[in-house]
Chains A and B, each alone.
Chain A
Amino acid sequence: MEPIDTSLVDWSRAQFALTAMYHWLFVPLTLGLGIIMAIMETLYVRTGREFWKQTARFWMKLFGINFAMGVATGIILEFEFGTNWSNYSWFVGDIFGAPLAIEGILAFFMESTFIAVMYFGWNKVSKRAHLASTWLTIIGATLSAWWILVANAWMQHPVGMEFNPDTVRNEMVDFAAVAFSPVAVVKFCHTVSSSWVLGAVFAVGVSCWYLLRGKHREFALASIKVAAWLGLIAALITAHTGHQSGRDIAQYQPMKLAAAEGLYEGGNAQGLVLGGLLRPGADWTAPSDESKFLFHVEMPYALSLLATHEADGYVPGIRNLLEGGYTLPDGSTALPAEEKMARGRKAIAALADYRKAKDEATKSAALTTLRENFDYFGYGYLNSPTELVPSVPITFYSFRIMVVLGGYFIALFAGLLIACKWLPSWTRWKWALWIVVLTIPLAWLASQAGWVVAEVGRQPWAIQGLLPNVAAISRLEVGSVQTTFFIFLVLFTLLLVAELSIMGKAIATGPETDKPTA
């Protein structure tokens, strides 16, 4: 039988990454801007001031332009699980499909029904029904995020399932464990709050641009106050949940943590790398005489504290994870990667024996072997332990970009709120206004960097420890995937340019708050 072409795996990954990264340009703005426009409309309904209505309508206009692109890229993402990862779809479809279906039934219909009322219903339903529709639109979008993040969290930390050798797949046995897994809860809070941060950065950035231009002053100041409060609260939640997420990674994905920290040689009382430069070309899969850093600054004990709650706690590095031999929190000794791969191959061979067995005794023996080694099933598809090491430079730098920018956003929102309250003249400081305007792309950079850490850091796994990418793909010609990759690239880029142009024009036109009301 012809073996899998590894370039097929690479192109399938590239296509999924392309779609996911484009999709994630639009989704966080939808989630963040949605909350802002809903707050504005609530203020309109409470106060009856036309000003708030026009403010809400302006943000809604930008929301709509962006929302369409999120929908367009999202549909590809959902179906790519089938088109490019067909083996994955069978192997875990029994578990993974459920959140996607629930997302459709519970969230998508809510979103798509009420967004129509939100846009076309201003003169057709009552003020309160319209406000409810606006909130239900954003609640629908947020619920959608919940279910897709449940699915993603499950891939990072699979729970609530059992392998069925007769159907050759994993089957769900505990829905609550999947839907309310602590990893999923943290991931949801972290992702959604960071999206609110992005929406808030966008809103304050656009508002400061108006202040620079000397236009729509009342609108700009009102939007800054609302968005900065939202942004500050959300950024603090993001920081807190980021910390919790780090602890989850330490527990369930130690290789990701090691890559994010550039930690080759682990040990007790590990420091957290605050910043540094990795040595270009360093081999992260083998020891070397020279340091793998050109330079770095560490906060002593901080990584051990983060990962284990103890200043002298043990944190494994890449070498330790590959070679094993250290003591795990449950007291057992970590296996070397070679041993895990051997046990994985044993599990796969036992599955083959089970399916071929003609008598009950052989079947039972094969099943016992399979169960004893199933925890390492996915390792059986790997050819070398080095495949277990993700790209350290990408993970390391992305992690730092995310964290540094997260801290900067907290300072920015706090600064804006202080300035609005006690320094009314700040709106004349052009340099300050420009800083806020130029922060807009940084919000996307931080958001994308976060996902890069989450997804690149868990390579080579499609499902952590259970199914590597190489065993998850569809059997396609590489040329087909290359062709669709470039089709999507050109199409998404073209549509992004179109969106940016329309968005730019809408921002240039501005809100209608300055126009006299009829």
Chain B
Amino acid sequence: MNDISLLQHYWWFLVSLLGALLVFLMFVQGGQSLIWTLGRTEEQRRMLLLATGRKWELTFTTLVTFGGAFFASFPLFYSTSFGGAYWVWVLILLCFVVQAVSYEFQLKNGNVLGTTTYRVFLLLNGLLGPLLIGTAVGTFFTGAEFVVDKAAIAQPAMPVISSWVNPLHGLEAAMVPQNLMLGLSVLLLTRVLACLYFLNSIADEALRTNCRRRLRMESAFFLLFFLTWLLRWLCGYGYAWLPEDGYVYLEQYKYLHNLLAMPAVLGTLLIGVVLVLTGMITGLKGWHRAIWPAGAGSVLVVLALLLCAGWNNTAYYPSSVSLQSSLTIANSSSGLFTLRTMTYVSFIIPFVLAYIAWAWRALDRKPITPEEANEEH
């Protein structure tokens, strides 16, 4: 493992996989955004929150690990994006801060803010979390307004190497329709997945009927937004770079070219789309386990999109104001030694996935009943 390029590709794969798993696990957020839509009675709302409450920490941890892995493998992204798109990331963090306490506090005695406040926090996290993350990820394809100048470190008066040009510090991303469309697609996908997850994990016929009804509408809107985004993504410009000297340039149909140049990624995308559609259709027909094809499909689709963002000589975090400042997996990664060390650590991931699977199965073997939802945890 002495080839840094191989390790950069491997780590981009791992970061993409974490991102893809995060999108799947955000069914928790989707579920939170549907608390009052699906849960008509207090008992139903309790069942919904118990179902997502068993999983919220996994989603949260995946987000934190996604951040940590990005920091370790591509520190220039961490430095440029977090330090520049300040307000977007702060808003995302605030959404997750209020979520972290809400499950634990909402039904406890002495809860001074009241149950409804915490549920509103969960609703906000459910709506804004996926929307903002999706919009922020949209800039991977449309670009962001930053300049990187590594020589600045040798200027003691102003040694900061990354500067954000737009005073909105990231909020401007929400004004780009393509970004917003991706944000809405992610939000709607999480709501689709949430409906499917509830069908599988809650034994209450009235609630299941609500989920199926909701699934139809959410799926239709998701497909509308996502397919529109996908079409524009395939037909639009992308940011390519020359491996010889790292020169970045705009290329039309770049992402389409990427898919054609990487048949395995194209296959992953197509299989993912088929699985998501299968999950939606079978879920609508009443199959309780439809979350699994839809979930696996979501992971594959997001993985393929993120691989297209970084592989095949593509700038994964393009600068729309200074093309040559764009970040690629080659110019923003950690060094060979760190990537190699981290790669050895990554071999533990299958073991981590195995115990997560064990715990998931142990807790979800039997669907949640109204009686269980009324017990104190």
Contacts and interface: CB of A to CB of B under 8 A. Distances in A.
Interface stretch (B203-211, B240-248, B305-313, B357-365): B357-365
A106 interface: yes
Interface in A40-98: 64-65, 67-69, 71-76, 78-79, 81-87, 89-91, 93-98
A73 B100 CA distance: 9
B54 A116 contact: yes
Main secondary structure of the interface of A (DSSP, over half): helix
Interface string B89-110: 1100110111011011100111
Contacts of B82: 79, 81-83, 86, 89, 474
Contact of B72 (A87, A100, A349): A100
Contacts of A169: 75
A97 B160 contact: no
A506 interface: yes
Interface string A468-481: 00010111110010
Contacts of B71: 81-82, 89, 93, 96-97, 100-101
Contacts of A85: 83
B111 A498 contact: yes
Contacts, number: 293
Interface string A131-142: 001000000000
Interface stretch (A119-127, A181-189, A199-207, A420-428): A119-127
Interface size band for B: 35 or more
A474 B84 contact: yes
B96 A506 contact: no
B58 A98 contact: no
B93 A75 contact: yes
Contacts of B338: 94-95, 97-98, 171-172
Interface residues of A, number: 96
B155 interface: yes
B73 interface: yes
Interface in A389-410: none
Interface stretch (A107-115, A283-291, A304-312): A107-115
Nearest to A73: B97
A365 interface: no
A98 B341 contact: yes
- List the 4 shortest-distance A-B pairs measured between CB atoms, nearest first: A86-B83, A93-B75, A82-B82, A505-B110
Interface of A: 1-4, 64-65, 67-69, 71-76, 78-79, 81-87, 89-91, 93-98, 100-106, 108-117, 119-121, 124-125, 129, 133, 164, 167-169, 171-173, 175, 345, 348-349, 351-352, 355-356, 380-381, 471, 473-477, 480, 484, 487, 491, 494-495, 497-499, 501-506, 509
Interface of B: 54-55, 57-58, 60-61, 63-65, 67-69, 71-73, 75-76, 78-84, 86-87, 89-90, 93-94, 96-98, 100-101, 103-105, 108-113, 150-151, 153-164, 167, 169, 334-335, 337-338, 341-342, 345-346, 348-349, 352, 355-356, 359, 362-363, 365-366, 377
Given A171-B337, A506-B108, 18 more contacts: A68-B104, A72-B98, A74-B64, A79-B82, A83-B89, A90-B162, A97-B68, A97-B338, A98-B334, A105-B65, A114-B355, A116-B57, A173-B337, A352-B151, A475-B164, A491-B98, A495-B97, A505-B109
